[in-house]
């Protein structure tokens, strides 16, 4: 007699008020495939629904701009700032739900690393510090980022209000939750990062001050849509700085995690920004930042980075490092990954041509058609 041992990622789990059929989530991945006005398209609806049909229990939207001021990061990025956006997303969420999945809207303010915003001719940030590196060609940018303008305290209040208003639109659009994007070098992470935040007011200086804006946004979102799940995405690395780590190490992490939990987050999503989970999660004392997040907050934690590796994924879940797994490249290569794992079928390898020269959904579709020809 033979027995089959199911992978722990296939076990159901509760996330806030949601019951998910497994622990696999599609990570937020910018695809810059919306209409010029930020309205999601039918092609995007097909793209997101495919993951749910493939068995993913949770699907995150790509980073979505919350207002028509300075938040948009890329041309053809989707928004949740207008009624047309709500209508477009409603088609997307209906497709995901019809296929048995749940969907969370990730709200993102690009701040200083905006490289395509028709609403503004300048960028904003906690301080007038030019971002490191250069704009990303795969998202339509080139050359160095401009020096941003420092936000006033009144404008910071407007940012908070913008997130809250977009959360209400997310509810209207049929999303099951809202994730506050405070990772990867975008505006909220710019406030948290020591070298991009040189403020001397209550938002600058010690880490407890630098996490203040993220905490305010989390609270505003949670209070605006109490019936939805509210989460937050954090990271040390950034799209324009793969080596950055929180300078205070474990001490900083404990302050950050406690602040967002107290603010009302119901889960923490720790991003790796293209790196393997272990590379970015390892602490100096041998522990991991994801396990620390679980210990400090008692909340579910989503780990990211190489989670298509079944051995690593099992270690993360059974070793107390995280509760759920979010996949980027692994999901793009295998939109039916949970079904494949359940059937013990081999996984396809990610081909960078799927997102080259651009990251659009149309480019990935052309790649598939060329493989089928």
Residues assigned a catalytic role = 186
| Contacting residues for 138 by C-beta, under 8 A, at least 6 apart | 355, 356, 357, 358, 359
SS3 content of the chain, % helix, strand, coil (to 5): 40, 15, 45
* C-alpha to C-alpha distance for 185 and 298, rounded to whole angstroms: 26
In the block, tokens 């209409």 appear at: 35
Reported as half-sphere exposure (CB side, CA atoms, 13 A), residue 340 has a value of 17
Distance from first CA to last CA of the chain, Å, rounded?
43
- Cβ of 370: how many Cβ atoms within 10 Å? 9
Cα distances from 59 to residues 29, 94, 239, in angstroms, run: 10, 12, 21
Residues 222, 165, 272, 257, CA torsion sign: negative
Please state at what angle helix 42-53 crosses helix 83-98, rounded to 10 degrees: 30
């Amino acid at each position: 007699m033979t027995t089959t041992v199911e992978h722990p990622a296939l076990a159901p789990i509760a996330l806030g008020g949601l019951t998910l059929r497994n622990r696999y989530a599609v990570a937020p991945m910018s695809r810059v495939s919306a209409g010029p006005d930020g309205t999601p398209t039918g092609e995007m609806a097909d793209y997101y629904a495919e993951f749910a049909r493939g068995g993913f229990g949770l699907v995150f939207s790509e980073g979505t701009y919350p207002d028509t001021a300075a938040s948009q990061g890329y041309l053809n990025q989707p928004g949740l700032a207008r009624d047309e956006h709500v209508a477009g997303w409603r088609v997307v969420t209906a497709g995901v739900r019809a296929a048995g999945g749940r969907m969370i809207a990730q709200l993102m303010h690009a701040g200083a690393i905006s490289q395509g915003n028709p609403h503004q001719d300048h960028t904003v940030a906690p301080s007038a510090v030019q971002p490191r590196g250069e704009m990303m060609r795969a998202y339509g940018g080139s050359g160095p980022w401009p020096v941003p303008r420092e936000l006033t305290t009144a404008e910071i209040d407007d940012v908070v209000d913008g997130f809250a208003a977009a959360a209400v639109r997310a509810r209207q659009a049929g999303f099951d939750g809202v994730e506050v994007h405070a990772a990867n070098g975008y505006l909220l992470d710019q406030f948290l990062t020591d070298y991009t935040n040189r403020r001397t007011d209550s938002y600058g200086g010690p880490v407890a001050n630098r996490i203040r804006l993220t905490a305010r946004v989390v609270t505003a979102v949670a209070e605006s849509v109490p019936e939805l799940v509210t989460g937050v995405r954090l990271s040390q690395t950034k799209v324009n700085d793969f080596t950055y780590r929180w300078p205070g190490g474990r001490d900083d992490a404990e302050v950050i995690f406690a602040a967002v939990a107290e603010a009302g987050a119901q889960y923490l999503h720790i991003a790796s920004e293209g790196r393997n989970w272990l590379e970015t999660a390892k602490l100096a004392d041998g522990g991991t930042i994801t396990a620390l997040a679980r210990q400090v907050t008692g909340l579910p934690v989503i780990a990211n980075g190489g989670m298509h590796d079944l051995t690593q994924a099992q270690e993360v879940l059974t070793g107390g490092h995280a509760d759920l797994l979010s996949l980027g490249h692994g999901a793009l290569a295998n939109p039916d990954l949970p079904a494949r794992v359940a059937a013990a079928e081999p996984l396809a390898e990610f081909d960078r041509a799927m997102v080259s020269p651009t990251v659009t959904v149309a480019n990935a579709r052309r790649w598939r058609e060329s493989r089928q020809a």
